[in-house]
A and B are shown apart, each in its own frame.
Chain A
């Protein structure tokens, strides 16, 4: 298809190509490469230093745990809401479908503030009740997980909904008419057909969750070795003039996000090739 549309390559084509490449290199490519070179200025010493510091290991572990839990929650919620939105009619569906996208355009600081106002231990709406039941949300891991889940909420849904719309219900109806239970139909028919969309959604959610900063900063309290996440540690190290350490953690985080993008783009390319075959 692309072949047919190709225009002859005039000077405009080359000028546009050059401008786009230059802009992307200056804005993203070059700065990103600099993080790598800064992190390895003294060989692998800076990275080793991170893994030898128990507080930094704790920060990395907390980030990983929060991201995995938030991703698991968002995946189950995302698949369920996608099915509800695509396969059912119910009052308020249009409002729900619009509101689902809200977390993408709310400032992370506002997310943090919103959670503190409701779950804050001292004077939140539900905080004191939860606190007396022994559940601490704000300044603790549950708060970090909630902030992370909030900011990444729509990512799975945005991937799954278009695919669900496209596959339709024929196969599901066939399975049901042959006596499969709803549960069997879901596992054997529906889930396999949206498998890749779920995988993209999970990878994107994981990448987004590992990197959340603003919302986590507000809800975590940033206690060294306890509620300090990896992104908070980047800020702390940079502001304390430990630039090498900051670049080392930044490099680790950046590697994960670039890897996530690469995985998704390779899977998409394979998917597109299979679709055209």
Chain B
């Protein structure tokens, strides 16, 4: 095989060894170039633009009354919904793995809907049940409840989908041994099942928190974006962009980016700990 042809086709060539062949080196170069142009350089631009105003500029932007209120609401709702997901997500995963009833496959499909449904459509569907014409009589649109509702919708699958495979792999014999020695079902769950689920739950919670912190699309039609009431951080960034205040937008955005980075690091640590144990 000619090396010229190989290098031209480089990007998709699999290398079998552990060291980089010339072809996969070229592939790596191309992939990294695209990744930098698309993701790394733009995200760096956010950080650099935020730093142009200095620490005092940054501080005055994020402590502006309206912005601080938006950040407080976003953090509170994201943390609250994440805690809620830890409980409900584990319960849902438990039902999907351990329970059997007709129509269960439908639940499997429903769980994935928030992943694939466009966020603007998610907002619209929530308005139809919890908005002005609510068949339930719940008028949550344009209140801070709408933020909790939208976060709960878009983050639903994270904990479920992390916990489900782990629960599926658990061996039954330890649980059976505990039960035969007289442990109640609750004790078995708390002492035997739960400890092995903790890393998966933590990973799901981290993803869920990060997703909620940056959520925008599902809130546009639902929350009304009322300052001090239902306005979230992303909306503040967007209004800064629309007012051509790029430094201000970048300052708030860099705060969100920092949280995303922390989540990524937390996930990496959790996954490494699990890999070492397994």
Q: Which residues of B contact A125 (CB under 8 A)?
A: 41, 45
Give the size range of A's interface with the partner: 35 or more
Of A76, A87, A108, A114, which is within 8 A of B45 by CB? A114
- B121 near A89 (CB under 8 angstroms)? no
Which residue of the partner chain A has the closest CB to B240? Answer: A113
Complex formed: what's the CA distance from A227 to B259 in Å?
31
Interface size on B, residues (CB 8 A): 100
Complex formed: what's the CA distance from A176 to B14 in Å?
11
Q: Which residues of A contact B35 (CB under 8 A)?
A: 77, 81, 96, 99-100
Which residue of the partner chain B has the closest CB to A179? Answer: B1
- Selecting from B53-61, B64-72, B104-112, B194-202, the interface stretch reads B104-112
Given contacts A83-B24, A87-B15, A234 and B120 within 8 Å (CB-CB): yes
What are 15 A-B contacts defined by CB distance under 8 Å?
Answer: A24-B92, A80-B12, A83-B12, A87-B15, A106-B43, A109-B214, A112-B241, A117-B45, A183-B9, A246-B124, A247-B128, A254-B121, A261-B116, A265-B109, A265-B112
- A117 near B128 (CB under 8 angstroms)? no
List residues of A (218-244) whose CB comes within 8 Å of B's CBs: 218, 231, 234-235, 238-239
Given contacts A107-B216, A235-B220, A261-B116, A113 and B41 within 8 Å (CB-CB): no
The answer, yes or no, to whether B46 is at the interface (CB within 8 Å) is yes
Q: Show the binding face of A for B, using Cβ within 8 Å.
A: 2, 4-7, 10, 12-13, 16-17, 19-21, 23-24, 26-32, 34-35, 38, 73, 76-77, 79-81, 83-84, 87-90, 94, 96, 98-119, 125, 146, 149-150, 153, 169, 172-173, 176, 181-183, 185-186, 190, 204, 207-208, 210-214, 217-218, 231, 234-235, 238-239, 246-247, 250, 253-254, 257-258, 260-262, 264-265
Complex formed: what's the CA distance from A272 to B181 in Å?
35
- A105 near B211 (CB under 8 angstroms)? yes
Of B42, B108, B117, B125, which is within 8 A of A117 by CB? B42
> Distance in Å from the Cβ of B162 to the closest Cβ of chain A?
12
Q: Which residues of A contact B27 (CB under 8 A)?
A: 80, 83-84
> Distance in Å from the Cβ of A129 to the closest Cβ of chain B?
13
- A88 near B24 (CB under 8 angstroms)? yes
Complex formed: what's the CA distance from A186 to B11 in Å?
11
The answer, yes or no, to whether B73 is at the interface (CB within 8 Å) is no
Complex formed: what's the CA distance from A88 to B23 in Å?
12
Most chain A CB within 10 A, of B35, B121, B241, is at B121
Complex formed: what's the CA distance from A253 to B217 in Å?
14
> Distance in Å from the Cβ of B277 to the closest Cβ of chain A?
18
Q: Which residues of B contact A207 (CB under 8 A)?
A: 115-116
